[in-house]
Amino acid sequence: MYKIVLVGSGEFTSSMYEVDKFLISQFQKKIKVMIIPTAAGQEKDYRKWILDGKKHFDQFNIESVGVDIIKKEDAFREDYIKLLDDVDFVYFSGGDPIYLLNTLKGTPFLNTVIDYYNNDKVIIAGSSAGAMIMGSFVPSNLFKNLITLKGLNIEWNESLGLVNFIIIPHFDRFSKIINFNGFVSKYFKNKFIGELENTNIIGIDENTALISKNSVEFKVMGKSKIHLFSKNLKEEYKSGDIFNINNLL
């Protein structure tokens, strides 16, 4: 079963219809989805993500529930943690990746999600900021630094490490206005800190998803491509392509 889903953007829209349809089809039962808008918690209309998610999953005739985990103390609520017992699919929306990481990291709610994921009780999806925290590190002020190419000024925050690379969402949009190859060159030339020395980068285009059963072999789905950067390699994979990351890095 595909159990981790990394989305460049487009969650709860028609762009992800076929992706989510495929993921839901893996189950031999009627499932329940949990929508977590924490990354948008600093926005006044953060509940829009819950409403959009519910409307999206209604198309598949499945139940969805949103949890208002907006502050760190919310992730200690027993009622929210208990809801996970009846959930099969956990979806983290877009927003601010550092806010998301700081709000959830080390909390009973996130610890339970990861435990259930590791024991094949839930699949996890994240879009944009939600995808970024699944990687090994999350950069602070990433896009501001990309535009100025001040790569050495980026603060790298250790993240969940469910996949062993750094995730850059919205890749096609940002690569049109910045010299991303220049940033990558600086990244691998300077290595930043020891923990990052062997950490690679995957850019995910908008309305595109990268899915995996085991965080080693990946399949591209959706509208566009993913872009893999290592110290000595640059590869692109389009929708439908499958690759084993251990064979490339």
Q: How many structural domains are present in the chain?
A: 1
CATH number of the domain at 50, please. 3.40.50.880
Q: How far is it, in rounded angstroms, from Cα 135 to Cα 218?
A: 14
Q: Number of helices (H) and strands (E) in the chain: give both, helices first.
A: 9, 14
pLDDT band at 194 (very low <50, low <70, confident <90, very high): very low
Higher pLDDT, 81 or 139: 81
What is the C-alpha separation between 70 and 75, in angstroms, rounded? 8
Instruction: For residue 18, report the phi and psi dihedrals to the nearest 5 degrees.
Output: -70, -35
The yes-or-no verdict on residue 191 having pLDDT over 80 is: no
Question: 25 pLDDT exceeds 60?
Answer: yes
User: Per-residue confidence at 10, pLDDT binned at 50, 70, 90?
Assistant: very high
Q: Which pLDDT tens digit goes with each residue over 82-133?
A: 999 999 999 999 999 999 999 999 999 999 999 999 999 999 999 999 999 9
193, pLDDT greater than 50: no
> Domain residues for 87?
4-247
pLDDT tens by residue, 50-67? 999 999 999 999 999 999
The maximal CA–CA distance of the chain, rounded, in angstroms, is: 50
Statement: residue 34 has pLDDT above 50: yes
Residue 186: its pLDDT value, please?
61
pLDDT in tens, 202-247: 999 999 999 999 999 999 999 999 999 877 778 899 999 999 988 7
pLDDT, tens only, 147-179: 554 445 567 788 999 998 989 999 998 777 766
∠ Cα 85 21 134 (to 5°)? 55
pLDDT of residue 153: 59
Nearest CA among 211, 183, 189, 149 for reference residue 18: 211
Residue 82, classified by CB atoms within 10 Å of its CB into exposed (0-12), middle (13-18) or buried (19+), is exposed
Task: Quote the pTM value.
Answer: 0.91
User: Which distant-in-sequence residues (6+ apart) come within 8 Å of 150 by Cβ?
Assistant: none
Average pLDDT over the chain, rounded to whole? 89
